[in-house]
Amino acid sequence: MSKLKASPPTEHPISTVPPGTVRTVAVIDIGATSIRMAIAEIQPNGEFRTLDTLVQSVELGREAFDNRRLSRHSIERSASVLKRYKRVLREYGVTSPKDVRVVATTAVREAINRLAFADRIYVATGFNVDPIDEAEVSRITYMGVMPHLRAHPELADGKSIVVEVGGGNTEMLIVRGGNVLHSQSFRLGSLRLVKTLEGVRASAPRRRAMLESHIRRTVLQITDAIKNDTAIHLIALGGDMRFAAHQLLDDWDGNSLALLPTAKLEKLTEKLLSLNEDAIVKRYNASFIEAETVGPALLSYTLLAKHFELTNIHVCDTNLRDGLLHDMAVGGTWTADFRNQIVRSALSLGRKFNFDESHARNVAELARKLFDQLRGEHGLDDRHEVLLFVAALLHEIGMMVNVRSNHKHALYLIRYSELFGLSRDELLQVGLVARYHRRAYPQPAHEAYGTLPQSERVMVSKLAAMLRLAIALDDTRSGRVREIRCVIESKRLVINVPGLDDVSLEQVAMRENSGFFRDTFGLPVLLRAGKLE
């Protein structure tokens, strides 16, 4: 817990990246209490090695959580810190914007002048600040923590609750057998807890009771999200728990998954809560903001562990910056495993609305095949294939609300759902693709569509046009059309259906549903039975 920290080089195995020269990159995390930077080398063999980490205390959360506005002083303080970081990056030879990713979490995201903040940082440093939402934080956390979980087979027995108590929010993933069962963000953070006690004149026991009351409400919310049907493991992330592990475990190397007895954590928490901030700063070489927040953060972990009657807590050294570095190392692509987690989450949502799962899966698979075979026409990347697949799975969930306007209700339900791995922007895009699976073509006056930039409007139209073709191919809802072969012939798209001699029903549906594709891609569509010659 220091103001400026340089860590030893650390190697992290990740998915293989294309061979090439070593690439030096950096990630910067603008949080509620500090601005942190990690500099790393991405190796040709698919590993990254951390070269340096820097931390500077900047209390953005104190203002954002109080009045939802960042002061001019705080903005300039942040710009000053980032200017210094940029000078350090030049010393490491990092000068290209593509080699630096800057993200902001809860504090900046909740500030009403977040755009002014981002603009000022850009003017001062050239850095583009990305205020990532809870879904993106969950995705990045998943990428950082899963290698640790896979390295410990004993955690496969039961559910792992991965929790990080940050300055503004508590992030949670529920993982079982390598699969994410649930992800959620709670408005419980160490700095928020400190803010609840500001101006309160009360004895130490009374202040402690107030903290516990706030924390227990969130613990109950977490409990509601977890079925008590198997053993539970608690995996704690965050600097506060790493600090506790270093204090209590003499043999922890700081990299492996540590096993921390709950009883020991409780005693340390009691000691920290009994000390004032000045004493914590002096005894533990902490910054003042760290001294303020470490007690409430550790109390949150302790009460969560005690609620589930856990004798030990696993402490993981990974952090948001590790996940960001993993993301940069794979070029921002979604791995097959991560894609599967998104699809699992979409299927779970569909089942909540009693969707026709067989039809939805058939349409999704056909949409995927259309996407793959028409890459030369649509020019989209693999992320968009996932968005199309999810939209295809969920395009009829609005039927439970209203059959006549089910496409409009599908947009609403998807847009405001919690799908693991998809950001709010991506959920909107999926919702719009599902919204245009039938009836009207996109119009500027339609909800949300007209506010999209042109590139996203075109992307939504391309995906929705392909979705309509996939729906027509399964018009009988029998799943009899499984394989397709697409070719461009005489300025038209010909979809051949191998193995079927009669596709007359599907041809009728295709004539009714292919107009959007024709208008988007400039290609009429012909559906043809029989094998491709």
Query: Is it the case that residue 172 has pLDDT exceeding 70?
Result: yes
Percentage, residues of the chain above pLDDT 90: 63
Boundary of a domain, candidates 87, 109, 132: 132
Domain boundary among 132, 161, 186: 132
Strands ordered across the beta sheet of 170-176: 179-186, 170-176, 159-165, 232-237, 312-315, 258-261
- Both 244 and 271 in a single domain? yes
Q: Is there a single domain that holds both residue 153 and residue 264?
A: yes
Q: What is the CATH number of the domain that holds 124?
A: 3.30.420.40
What's at 485, amino acid-wise?
A: R
Do 245 and 350 sit in the same domain of this protein? no
* CATH number of the domain where residue 206 is located: 3.30.420.150
Residue at a domain's end among 84, 104, 132: 132
| The predicted structure's pLDDT at residue 393 | 97
**pLDDT at 178 exceeding the cut of 90:** no
* C-alpha pair distances (Å), 318 with each of 142, 149, 235: 10, 11, 11
The token pair that represents 125 in the structure block: 């440093």
Using pLDDT thresholds of 50, 70 and 90, give the confidence band for residue 154. Answer: confident
Residue 330 lies in a domain: no
Q: Are residues 301 and 417 in the same domain?
A: no
Lowest-confidence region among 22-36, 118-132, 167-181, 480-494: 167-181
Determine the 3-state secondary structure of 10 from DSSP: strand
- Asked whether residue 75 falls in the same domain as residue 109, the answer is yes
Rounded CA separation 104/342 (Å): 23
Res 45 pLDDT > 90: no
Q: Do residues 113 and 181 share a domain?
A: no
Phi, psi (5° rounding) for residue 217? -60, -40
Report yes or no on 3 lying in a domain. Answer: no
Range of the domain at 186: 135-320
Shared domain for 376 and 509, answered yes or no, is yes
Same domain, 198 and 263: yes
Mean pLDDT for all residues in the chain:
89
Verify that 106 and 64 share a domain, yes or no.
yes
Provide the pLDDT confidence category of residue 155 given band limits of 50, 70 and 90: confident
Q: Is residue 203 part of a domain?
A: yes
Is residue 232 assigned to a domain?
A: yes
- The verdict on 499 and 523 lying in the same domain is yes
Question: Quick one: 300 and 397 in the same domain?
Answer: no
Residues 122 and 73 in one domain: yes
Which is it for strands 159-165 and 179-186: parallel, antiparallel or unpaired? unpaired
Confidence of residue 49 (pLDDT cuts 50, 70, 90): confident
What pLDDT is attached to residue 399?
Answer: 93
Q: For the chain, what is the domain count?
A: 3
Residue 318 in this model has a pLDDT that exceeds 70: yes
